[in-house]
Amino acid sequence: MNRIEKKFNELKEREEGALISFITAGDPNPEMTKDYVKGLINGGSDIIELGVPFSDPVADGPTIQAADERALKAGTTPDKVFEIVKDVRNDYDGPIVLLTYYNLLFKPGVENFVKKAKNVGVDGILVADIPVEESELFYNSCKKNEIDTIFLATPSTSVPRLNNIIEKTSGFLYLVSLFGVTGAREKVQEMTIENVKKFKPFTKNKIPLCVGFGISKSEHVKSILNVGADGVIVGSAYVKEIENNLGDKDKIIKILEEKSKMFKSGTKI
């Protein structure tokens, strides 16, 4: 049993949903990421998701795009992200997921990227721009290296395609809760609630269903879990705080811990 599956089993026993916390690795520089991750973990985050900075992150809104730019300017490469993960692993034995784009796997070779990820302790990889229909090499490489393949489903995903995605997904299914790009929203849209209800019958007893895009309050977490989701992914709400407090590392760590604690408080089912 790998770390992601083990974590969801533990949470189920405690009757809690999962808090998956995302930040961009290397934002604003690689040296700070480990400390930011520590803040998220101390606040109660169950799974850490690190974005591998990319020059054209098409699924992301302005907040995470800006974080990618800062990280790239600081010299954050995929190899540097692997170093960060290895460093985090010295103190943390929980699940770590990478969010990346296919170009970053294609350039060094998919098998090479996946093998490096495995060697530093990555548990799952989500490639934001690879359709499941074209994922055979990625899927097989991850399976060979015992890394979970996390795929996206969207509000427009058809039932036949959803079943195909679920078949290739391990770790958890990432439900993009609304149309558009990443970014914190003030309210949970009715579309989000309806999509959780729509997708849950297909994932039940197969794969954890986790919801991302737009979550910025503990009430959002509660409302999403109460209709059947197994976890939530929070990203822009953290990344915005990093942007707002650049240059004050200690303050950022404190805020990330407080935010993580706040979101985690909403995960009691």
pLDDT in tens for each of the 269 residues of the chain?
799 999 999 999 999 999 999 999 999 999 999 999 999 999 999 999 999 999 988 778 889 999 999 999 999 999 999 999 999 999 999 999 999 999 999 999 999 999 999 999 999 999 999 999 999 999 999 999 999 999 999 988 999 999 999 999 999 999 997 654 444 444 455 778 888 999 999 999 999 999 998 788 899 899 999 999 999 999 999 999 999 999 899 999 999 999 999 999 999 87
Q: What is the pTM of this model?
A: 0.95
Look at the chain and report how many structural domains it folds into: 1
| 10 occurs within a structural domain | yes
| 138 occurs within a structural domain | yes
What are the residue numbers of the active site?
Answer: 49, 60
pLDDT of residue 185: 45
- What does the block give as tokens for 210? 């986790």
| 63 occurs within a structural domain | yes
| 30 occurs within a structural domain | yes
State the Cα–Cα distance between residues 210 and 203, nearest whole angstrom: 10
| 72 occurs within a structural domain | yes
| 269 occurs within a structural domain | no
State the Cα–Cα distance between residues 75 and 52, nearest whole angstrom: 12
Domain membership of residue 115 as a residue range: 3-264
Question: Do 40 and 48 contact (CB within 8 A), yes or no?
Answer: yes
pLDDT of residue 184: 44
Residue 243: which CATH number?
Answer: 3.20.20.70
State the Cα–Cα distance between residues 69 and 195, nearest whole angstrom: 32
Strands 209-212 and 231-234, bridge-based pairing: parallel
Torsion over CA of 160, 169, 267 and 33, rounded to 10 degrees? Answer: -130
pLDDT of residue 189: 58
| 24 occurs within a structural domain | yes
- What does the block give as tokens for 66? 């800006």
pLDDT of residue 40: 98
| 251 occurs within a structural domain | yes
